[in-house]
């Protein structure tokens, strides 16, 4: 599993309610994306930074999302340049199922 964290400093802080409205408007963009398991939208407590935590099947699937067109979409929507950082997830603690497990490389 690959986790990608995107973030961008907003030109001006936004409220949680405003963030929810914006995020709900873009959420359909991420439905049925090949290889995307989950996306969690995030907003800093001060409302000055937003982004997402994405859980991907593979790095290739993640990289297929963060194209120049995606970056332009973010710039137009939020008025700022996004960053993307990739992380491998070798071990998962799942308190919902009560399991701890190892992820296979690239899985």
Q: How confident is the model at residue 103 (pLDDT cuts 50, 70, 90)?
A: confident
CB 10 within 8 A of CB 78: yes
Over residues 52-84, the pLDDT tens digits come to 999 999 999 999 999 999 999 889 988 899 999
Q: What is the Cα–Cα distance from 50 to 61, expressed in whole angstroms?
A: 22
Higher-pLDDT residue of 32 and 106 is: 32
Q: How confident is the model at residue 41 (pLDDT cuts 50, 70, 90)?
A: very high
Take residue 25 and report the two structure tokens written for it.
Answer: 């408007």
Q: What is the Cα–Cα distance from 75 to 60, expressed in whole angstroms?
A: 23
- The pTM for the full model equals 0.89
Q: Is the pLDDT of residue 107 over 60?
A: no
């Amino acid at each position: 599993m690959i986790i990608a964290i995107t973030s961008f400093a907003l030109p001006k802080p936004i409220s949680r309610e405003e963030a929810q409205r914006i995020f709900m408007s873009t959420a359909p963009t991420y439905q049925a994306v090949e290889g995307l398991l989950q996306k969690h939208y995030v907003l800093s407590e001060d409302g000055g930074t937003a982004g997402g935590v994405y859980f991907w099947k593979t790095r290739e699937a993640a990289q297929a999302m963060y194209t120049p067109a995606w970056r332009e979409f973010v710039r137009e929507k939020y008025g700022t340049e996004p960053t993307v950082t990739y992380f491998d997830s070798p071990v998962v603690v799942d308190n919902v199922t009560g399991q701890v497990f190892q992820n296979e490389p690239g899985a």
